[in-house]
Amino acid sequence: MAKKPLILVTNDDGITSPGIRKLIEIMNSIGDVVVVAPDSPQSGMGHAITIDSTLTCDKITVDKGNQIEYKCSGTPADCVKLGVREVLGRKPDLCVSGINHGSNSSISVIYSGTMSAAIEAGIEGIPAIGFSLLDYSWDANFDNLEQSIKKIVKNVLDNGLPEGVVLNVNFPKTETDFKGIKICRQARGNWVESFDKRVNPLGKEYYWLSGKFELMDDGKDTDEWALAHNYVSVVPVQFDLTAHQFIQKLTNWNF
Amino acid sequence: MAKKPLILVTNDDGITSPGIRKLIEIMNSIGDVVVVAPDSPQSGMGHAITIDSTLTCDKITVDKGNQIEYKCSGTPADCVKLGVREVLGRKPDLCVSGINHGSNSSISVIYSGTMSAAIEAGIEGIPAIGFSLLDYSWDANFDNLEQSIKKIVKNVLDNGLPEGVVLNVNFPKTETDFKGIKICRQARGNWVESFDKRVNPLGKEYYWLSGKFELMDDGKDTDEWALAHNYVSVVPVQFDLTAHQFIQKLTNWNF
């Protein structure tokens, strides 16, 4: 690509989170960067969009980088929609989301605001990648991700992505070098919830959702295996949710 | 099944919406019904879950049916999690979500709170079905859906569903009889957004998200084709989002 690529950056932890600041810094070395990101944390928002309320989108300056930035009152998917239609007025060459503070591997892809932004871009025909680090802390160390992110972005800009596919990239939490980048499938697993039941000062019961991830897959080709063995995991993700392999069987049902 | 099945009912339009009231009425004729549904509309919530805030879940009586009902402050996915762990304390035999006021065919499955509830149940290993009617109005006519819903539920209770698959059922808006029930794949299509930009009384700009669905698929095996031809569409939906067919190609990239 002779001309610098136009890159839309977003996330779900909010526009001031260290993860997106690092991603913006890396993208500034690759292309022209426009940021449209939530003005507040939107973790766990899945593919939510704002249809019963209004949205705001305001230009702001957060640091001295070359990027142009907008904070948006909506969800990550809203940010991509607004970014493409209202801010850019055209499809960017790439959309990157993250770097998320916390894992989006295995079934977490379903609940992930980070990945919903990438998927929304994919739906709109934009090559897109979500990046997440397996460290929930605000002061997580993003420094050793730069080289891998650049490699993955370069591959996507050079090769493109097939229609209907975006990438879900997760980084293990480590102080040492990664063993490499591994193409994986989404591991089978789920979150086993527990609800912490409490009583508020007025005597009314309420709950906090918490839970424990349960891996139900011992394959060595999964994202969970790769991450446990210090590889960067890359899962190609699709948004045609049809279980094609089950259509024939269903057709034999007695309707 | 000799014993009456235990059925968890939820939706995304809220516990008082006519669509869920009709679904509860139908389910009462099939099994023992427990309702855990949002206390307010949650359309477009995708697979959002509540992780940064608290949840309430309170028993209520809405009508004279045999069901037991709880209104929940969370999203549709929260309702299923709370319903299974806190209210029922065990997996129900079936989870049904809807009847949604409005279509969840094609790419709308991604944004759908109705379907996220069904998918959440599927993730937890519960046979699950989302039902939607192609009519957004509050006073939509749900009367002619009963026979088809019973047929589909009976098939799922008799045959089960394979692991990792739930059903997305959409009904055309019609005053006449349906031509039948058709097993389909998710049509390729997307929403082309337009943002209605306005100025509030304080002079600040804001947006309303709106858009038009664009079908990009002329296959006769899609949900959109079925609905346009007066069939009830049934799409088997999976939550392994891996684009398996692309793994080999990605492995050849230059990492």
* pLDDT, tens digit (0-9, with 9 covering 90-100), for A178-193: 999 999 999 999 999 8
Q: Is residue A138 part of a domain?
A: yes
pLDDT for residue B238 is more than 80: yes
Q: Is residue B191 part of a domain?
A: no
Closest CA of chain A from B46, distance in Å = 4
User: What is the average pLDDT across B78-84?
Assistant: 96
pLDDT for residue B38 is more than 60: yes
User: What is the average pLDDT across A218-230?
Assistant: 97
B250 vs B255: CA distance, rounded Å: 10
User: What is the average pLDDT across A227-235?
Assistant: 97
Percent of all residues in chain A with a pLDDT value above 90, rounded to a whole number: 88
User: What is the average pLDDT across B53-73?
Assistant: 95
Report which residue type is found at B20: I
Task: Read off the pLDDT of residues B182-219 as tens digits, 9 standing for 90 and up.
Answer: 999 999 999 998 899 999 999 999 999 988 999 999 99
Task: Read off the pLDDT of residues A239-249 as tens digits, 9 standing for 90 and up.
Answer: 999 999 999 99
Which residues of B are less than 8 Å from A14 in CB distance?
Answer: none
Q: Which of residues 18-57 of A touch B (CB under 8 A)?
A: 41, 43-52, 54-57
pLDDT value for A47: 82
CB atoms within 10 A of CB B253: 16
pLDDT for residue A174 is more than 80: yes
Percent of all residues in chain B with a pLDDT value above 70, rounded to a whole number: 99
User: Within chain B, how many helices (H) and strands (E) appear?
Assistant: 7, 11
Joined together, the tokens standing for residue A108 give: 């977490």
User: What is the average pLDDT across A96-124?
Assistant: 96
* CB-based contact, A71 to chain B, within 8 Å: no
Which residues of B are less than 8 Å from A249 in CB distance?
Answer: 162
Which residues of A are less than 8 Å from B243 in CB distance?
Answer: 162, 164-165, 236-238
Asked whether the beta carbons of A115 and B213 are under 8 A apart, the reply is: no
B96 vs B121: CA distance, rounded Å: 9
Question: Apex CA A10: angle with CA A6 and CA A16, to 5°?
Answer: 120
Cα distances from B198 to residues A78, B195, B209, B210, in angstroms, run: 17, 9, 11, 13
Which residues of A are less than 8 Å from B119 in CB distance?
Answer: 110
Helix (H) or strand (E) holding A123: helix A113-123
Task: Read off the pLDDT of residues B124-133 as tens digits, 9 standing for 90 and up.
Answer: 999 999 999 9
pLDDT value for B32: 98
Going by C-alpha positions, the residue among A113, A87, A77, A120 that lies closest to residue A6 is A87
Going by C-alpha positions, the residue among B60, B53, B22 that lies closest to residue B38 is B60
User: What is the average pLDDT across B237-247?
Assistant: 96
pLDDT value for A86: 94
User: What is the average pLDDT across B151-161?
Assistant: 96
User: What is the average pLDDT across A93-122?
Assistant: 97
Going by C-alpha positions, the residue among B151, B40, B173 that lies closest to residue B103 is B173
pLDDT band at B176 (very low <50, low <70, confident <90, very high): confident
pLDDT value for A2: 63
Joined together, the tokens standing for residue B250 give: 């990605």
What's the maximum distance between 2 C-alpha atoms anywhere in chain B?
65
Asked whether the beta carbons of B95 and B7 are under 8 A apart, the reply is: yes
pLDDT for residue A212 is more than 70: yes
Average pLDDT, chain A: 94
Joined together, the tokens standing for residue A4 give: 């610098």
pLDDT for residue A102 is more than 70: yes
Asked whether the beta carbons of A236 and B243 are under 8 A apart, the reply is: yes
Lowest average pLDDT, out of A79-83, A140-144, B49-53, goes to: B49-53
Task: Read off the pLDDT of residues B104-154 as tens digits, 9 standing for 90 and up.
Answer: 999 999 999 999 999 999 999 999 999 999 999 999 999 999 999 999 999
Which residues of A are less than 8 Å from B190 in CB distance?
Answer: 123-124
Helix (H) or strand (E) holding B28: helix B18-28
CB contact under 8 A, A239 and B241: yes
Q: Pick A236's closest partner by Cβ from B81, B165, B250.
A: B250
The total domain count for chain A is 1
pLDDT value for B2: 63
A171 vs B161: CA distance, rounded Å: 34
Residue to test with chain A: of B49, B116, B222, most A Cβ within 10 A: B49
A115 vs A117: CA distance, rounded Å: 5
Q: Is residue B94 part of a domain?
A: yes
Q: Which DSSP symbol is given to A36?
A: E
Average pLDDT, chain B: 94
Report which residue type is found at A238: Q
Q: Is residue A198 part of a domain?
A: no
Give me the residues paired with residue A243 across strands.
Answer: none
Domain that holds residue A152: 6-186+219-251
Which residues of B are less than 8 Å from A152 in CB distance?
Answer: 255
Q: Is residue B124 part of a domain?
A: yes
pLDDT value for A135: 96
B54 vs B74: CA distance, rounded Å: 8
Going by C-alpha positions, the residue among B85, B9, B122, B125 that lies closest to residue A209 is B85
Q: Is residue A62 part of a domain?
A: yes
A69 vs A60: CA distance, rounded Å: 6
pLDDT for residue A197 is more than 80: yes
What's the maximum distance between 2 C-alpha atoms anywhere in chain A?
65
Q: Is residue A193 part of a domain?
A: no
pLDDT value for A152: 97
- Residue B220 burial by Cβ neighbours in a 10 Å radius (0-12, 13-18, 19+): exposed
pLDDT band at A79 (very low <50, low <70, confident <90, very high): very high
* CB-based contact, A86 to chain B, within 8 Å: yes
Torsion sign (Cα): B20, B131, A163, A103: positive
Percent of all residues in chain A with a pLDDT value above 70, rounded to a whole number: 99
CB contact under 8 A, B244 and A110: no
Task: Read off the pLDDT of residues A43-53 as tens digits, 9 standing for 90 and up.
Answer: 778 888 888 88
Joined together, the tokens standing for residue A8 give: 């839309």
CB contact under 8 A, B242 and A237: yes
* CB-based contact, B202 to chain A, within 8 Å: no
Q: Is residue A135 part of a domain?
A: yes
Going by C-alpha positions, the residue among B66, B94, B85, B80 that lies closest to residue B6 is B94
Q: Which residues of A222-249 are buried (b: 16+ CB within 10 A; e: fewer)?
A: bbbbbbeebbbbbbbbbbbbbbeebbee
Task: Read off the pLDDT of residues A121-171 as tens digits, 9 standing for 90 and up.
Answer: 999 999 999 999 999 999 999 999 999 999 999 999 999 999 999 999 999
Task: Look up the CATH number of the domain holding residue A145.
Answer: 3.40.1210.10
pLDDT for residue A1 is more than 70: no
